[in-house]
Structure 1
């Protein structure tokens, strides 16, 4: 650990790495990702503290790492109760939810308008342990296509479970021979990664389709 890199010992670089990971963890909205980054950072910090003889640093971060393991076990393996609620496009609660999250929604759907075309619109709300985790708004069109107006998941539930649940329920309740393709347009890298994870295939510059 005495090797020198850019005029600093390797052990100091390890300390900076641990600090960076802990800092990044505090900026994450997903509880699972926060715990994972914080666990890695605190584990490295614990090693750093013990190595340089700073026992308070080593012991404290070891305890933080153990707490992260405990909560990660709870977050990853707890049995959550999912349920689906169908809402009206003019529902007052829906509008309140969209207004509250509007700024974050525009990160992924920059063209989303609260006064979206409500004709033939279907609204599904995903609940996790009785809390609203996401909203799915689709406009059913002709020629077997349904265009996704909004597929938004509340930040703390962005672990793909909510998205899969909504798509599964949409398939069960709305997919048939006259409605067999979900279409979504996006140019946001994070959202595109999510779409591909959900099984969408790119068919145009910004168009993605999921065969149902």
Structure 2
């Protein structure tokens, strides 16, 4: 009886994880959660003797694994374009993602107008993010660093801070930022920023 109850809860857990995966807008998170849900469902199916359920979810595991490998191995073409804060393409991008940006950077509208450095992040010819801040001497204080939900796999940020020569060409040697949310803090640390009280910084080499 106890084993049957445990299997029932395993089925509930598999359903919950799979349903949660469908709420993810970022492909990477969607695939990882779907992989976890399918693994639980496959185990559930085989344990209760429902072989079609077990084999079907095993197939989904293979599909998710294939796409995860593809995501991690893909070599996207990134570019960083310096733009004026009044550029139409910037305005269109900000309008499209205004609510999401405001949830991370509540006062970005007022702050963006005063930034002397504004850059659009481009991935495979599509604008996917914006980075804006104030440059003083050889340092840049980031005011907004936003990437669209579908592209939050850390690659755009890694390109900007460690691979692109854009910041270096501007004479920037150090970048400062503040973490506005726990997710933003995780992002900064993942990019290589070092924590210093309430600020985070990274040296540009």
User: 2:127 maps to what in 1?
Assistant: 132
Change (3 A) 1:88 1:187: closer
User: 2:27 maps to what in 1?
Assistant: 31
Q: TM-score, length-normalised on structure 2?
A: 0.88
Say whether the 8 Å CA contact 1:201–1:208 is kept in structure 2: yes
- Structure 1 residue 37, shift from structure 2 partner: 1.0
Q: Which runs of 5+ in 2 are unaligned?
A: none
- Structure 1 residue 115, shift from structure 2 partner: 6.2
Say whether the 8 Å CA contact 1:136–1:166 is kept in structure 2: no
Deviations 1:107-162, CA, capped at 9 Å, x for gaps: 2212211563335x1222222211222211121124x4321121111111111111
Say whether the 8 Å CA contact 1:22–1:38 is kept in structure 2: yes
Deviations 1:91-122, CA, capped at 9 Å, x for gaps: 01101101111111122212211563335x12
User: 2:150 maps to what in 1?
Assistant: 156
Q: Which runs of 5+ in 1 are unaligned?
A: none
Counting only pairs closer than 5 Å after superposition, residues 1-212 of structure 1 correspond to structure 2 as 3=2, 9-113=5-109, 116-118=112-114, 121-142=116-137, 144-168=138-162, 169=164, 170-175=166-171, 179-205=172-198, 207-212=199-204
Which whole-Å CA distance do the structure 2 matches of 1:135 and 1:24 have between them?
A: 28
Which whole-Å CA distance do the structure 2 matches of 1:211 and 1:71 have between them?
A: 34
Q: TM-score, length-normalised on structure 1?
A: 0.85
Say whether the 8 Å CA contact 1:86–1:124 is kept in structure 2: yes
Higher helix content, 1 or 2: 2
Say whether the 8 Å CA contact 2:111–2:143 is kept in structure 1: no
Structure 1 runs of 4+ with >4 Å offset: none
Count of aligned pairs between the two proteins: 202
Which whole-Å CA distance do the structure 2 matches of 1:150 and 1:27 have between them?
A: 26
TM-align CA RMSD: 2.1
Which whole-Å CA distance do the structure 1 matches of 2:110 and 2:60 have between them?
A: 42
